[in-house]
Amino acid sequence: MSDVSASWPEKLRVEPIDAVRWRVPRQGPMRTEGLIFASGKLIEDIQDDPCVQQVANVATLPGIVGKALAMPDLHWGYGFPIGGVAAFDLEEGVISPGGVGYDINCGVRLLRTDIEAKSVTGKKSVHLRRLAGELEALVPTGVGRGSKDLRLGPQPIRGVLERGAAWAVDAGYGVGADLQHLEAGGALAGADPDAVSRVALDRGRDQLGSLGSGNHFLEVQVVDEIFDELAAEAMGLRLGCLSVLIHTGSRGLGYQVCDDFLHEMLLASKRYGIELPDRQLCCAPIRSPEAQRYLRAMNAAANFAFANRQVITARVRDAFTLALDLSDASASIGVVYDVCHNIAKIEEHAIDGVQRKLCVHRKGATRAFAPGHAELPAAYRATGQPVLVPGDMGRYSFVLAGQPGAMQESFGSCCHGAGRVLSRHAARKLAGKRNLISELKGQGIEVRAASRGTVAEEMPEAYKDVAEVVRTVVDAGLAKLVARLRPIAVVKG
């Protein structure tokens, strides 16, 4: 493994293609060019950021197919940029834990309800405060915090890692219909608990049904605008009704899996003579024993994340039942979809008119499969895959649907959120002594958080305007607008 940093130009070139596409031409050791999806407004913050170098770094990896891609919520990450997408040939390509991230299968799940927002909002209503309180009580948050009543023994945790969300449903957390609206049915094949270290297993034993910390959240929202009636109807989204967005992943178990394999992959990179522009891109040939073992462990961690969001779904239903005096919230709260943000998956894509199996890394990016794709649930075959794009806790989130342009340009991928513009340290400094919880309450948003520091780090100003991010992918033809969701209650890690 040699140092290739000396062969880079002093400043990377970024060239406009059109209003929402920017080329990073082949420079230095790049094997292919980079493509950044960004509006003119967004590229102002992106083009001089180190994340552009990370896009170029990804383009140097062996066996990369097509371009090294970046979504408009692009920002700096570990190895790959957050918002990065890259596909690799199964014979000559590599797999990199940095292209997946520490929080394996960090993702989002959207729940739809038949409950009208006006039944819980208003100055005289106590229902919203009660609902926020019940959600906070039933879904643990914060660094290292796990479930109070769900601790997995050796056999149950194997079942979680092998079966994902289906294990949770069979254990009483949800209903079978939930599984019909999850990416991959809520379980990735080829998961192997034996590829997961004992340390990782120990870290995950009590963390099912918990949010964690940082940007993870549970958010009650109002569907306040419908852009596509047909797609919204297919998803069960009704104007003026409540929805719930759950954002979390594989917790300490997934973090440990990544950490374990980074050490192994760094040695593997040297062993296989792979030149790295950044040690954080350490990798191994996809067919190698090291890569295959990582894939089995990664799939197991991904299944833990699916199960985690499934348990939280059950607890959200419990919270609604208690707070709103419902007989059973299961009948009025259903799953719209659940998507992975941090994952590497073996998929088939058309390259120069020929179907090829590729290993697609999505790091802070989500699938956006177009109408008619065989992997979509029957309910979404006509409209395209639901693409869930959270914003910040003070403005709005969006629901999109995948379009043919994503299959043609981005390996069926799209943005996954707003993307940070301020580091956590910078956000805390900007927040100063502001009472952000009081400010958000003044906007009609109830906030529950593990600490005021968390709220400061996740303040709305720390993020790009997700409307600009969404407008970019829509203008690029990767997705279409379906609905806008406005937050009214937020539980933060």
- Copy the structure tokens of residue 57: 């770094």
Nearest to residue 242, comparing CAs of 336, 383, 361, 350? 336
The number of angstroms, rounded, from the C-alpha of 251 to the middle of its chain's C-alpha atoms is 13
Question: How far apart are alpha carbons 194 and 296 in whole angstroms?
Answer: 9
In 10 A of CB 273, how many CB atoms? Answer: 9
Alpha helices in 389-461 (DSSP H): 404-409, 424-431, 436-442, 452-457
Query: Tokens 């419902």 appear where?
Result: 326
CB-based contacts of 33, cutoff 8 Å, min separation 6: 23, 24, 25, 26, 59, 67, 68
Beta strand 34-37 pairing with 64-75: parallel
AA identity, residue 349: H
Helices and strands (DSSP H and E) totals, the chain = 14, 19
CB-based contacts of 442, cutoff 8 Å, min separation 6: none
Q: Reply yes or no on whether 361 is catalytic.
A: no
Out of 263, 349, 416, 425, the active site residue is 416
AA identity, residue 181: H
CB-based contacts of 381, cutoff 8 Å, min separation 6: 371, 372, 373
Alpha helices in 150-213 (DSSP H): 154-163, 165-170, 198-204
- Copy the structure tokens of residue 110: 């959207």
Beta strand 366-367 pairing with 354-363: unpaired
Residues with a catalytic annotation lie at 416
